[in-house]
Amino acid sequence: MRTAFTHLYMKGIKIQFRQPVQHSPSAGRAAIAHVLWCRRVMGTRIVILNTAIFVRLVPYLRDSRFVEGEACRRFSKAPRIRNWPLVTGRAYPEQAHETAKYLGIDVLETTAYDFANGEMYVRYTEPVRGADAFVMQAHTEPINKWIMEQLIMVDAMKRASARSITVVAPFLGYSRQDKKHQGREPITARLIFDLFRAAGADRIMTVDLHAAQEQGFFDGPVDHLTATPVLLDYVRNNMPLENTTIVSPDAGRIKVSEQWAAKLGNLPLAFIHKTRDTTRPNHAEAHGIIGEVEGHDCVVVDDMIDTAGTICEAVRTLNNAGAKSVTLVATHGLLSGPAVERLRNCGAKEIVLTDTVPVPEEKRLPNMTVLSVAPLLAAGIRSVFESGSVSTLLNGLPEDMRPRNIYA
């Protein structure tokens, strides 16, 4: 449906357009917000009562090419309202569109493609000058390609004169390489932060870094979100907790497991003692359990499942110790290589993940649940844009961000 306008009534003030304007017919819910982007008219007027829409139109009211009379004079001294475009790479655009729904905005259209030799091209189809931009990308397979694409997107945004650029990487690639285990090794996590800074990023937003201290690698603010509220709500509402023990898969996750145990009503805690062979990737060996697990429903809490070798070893260790059932909970479901087959045969009662990286249907098992982090990302983006507190999200999602459908 096409609707056109010659006048707008805002706060009781009539605004007369010198040039005809017409909004894009693509989105009914955003029709009024888009009205000033086009130039043709058929002669209609509308009353705007929504304050949010009013705010989005104010910057254009300062432009004398479009408005005249009292409205132009009344708003000429008004501060320019910064918009907040959300753009996404090609790795997982569905997540960005779902996040945009919670924010009540649209994802900015981007042109992106590969050249014949593998190089990438990116261009934004609308102006972003003066905007507070959020550049989202999932660091999934092929991870190096998608990281490079996000770096190119940041550079394009900087050269388009965005006011600020926030990199949104729900799972940050290379975050496990945060320290040197042997001589002549890189600290690649630091390199990734440096690359985004050099490309033009002012801020980075991510979920459940492998080590929280990696925030110090970036010369700027890092909004370190956690998927714990999303995962906690699911466990609390879908599992009987009377006989549950929270299990840390290794000593490094004890602090997180303690928080889980406390938030679920001071549940008992156990952890698995294991050692990792730094010369063999994705390999660790469990040596025993500290804590009581026999006859208990165990919930193993980890930050990621990659090849699933160590987490499946933890399940077998718990089952051999007499655990009644074992549920695996992790933020990042990378599910690389033999992960799906290992999880299928490990004996876990349920596997709960989030979609910080896409989990395709062919990798989803009957006992696997994938939860959406879109409301968490939306709440974080809104807090940054409105200069609010991101740390309050540690206690749970805002009421208006609680998902109607928790599944990804």
Q: Which residue numbers are catalytic?
A: 274
| Long-range pairs of 15-24 with CB within 8 A, sequence gap ≥ 24 | 15/61, 15/67, 15/69, 15/71, 15/72, 16/67, 16/68, 16/69, 16/71, 17/41, 17/66, 17/67, 18/65, 18/66, 18/67, 18/68, 19/65, 19/66, 21/66
Peptide bond into 142 cis (omega under 30): yes
On whether the CB atoms of residues 147 and 173 are closer than 8 A, the answer is yes
**CA dist., res. 127 & res. 54, Å (int):** 20
Task: Supply 292's token pair.
Answer: 């009581």
Residue that the structure tokens 């466990």 belong to: 235
Taking the C-alpha atoms of residue 346 and residue 326, their distance in angstroms, rounded to an integer, is 10
Alpha carbons 75 and 64: distance in angstroms, whole number: 11
* Closest to 175 in 3D by CA, of 132, 143, 150: 143
Q: 378 near 103, Cβ under 8 Å?
A: yes
What is the spatial order of strands in the sheet that 203-207 belongs to?
86-88, 132-136, 164-169, 203-207, 222-225
Neighbours of 70 (CB within 10 A): 12
CB atoms within 10 A of CB 148: 17
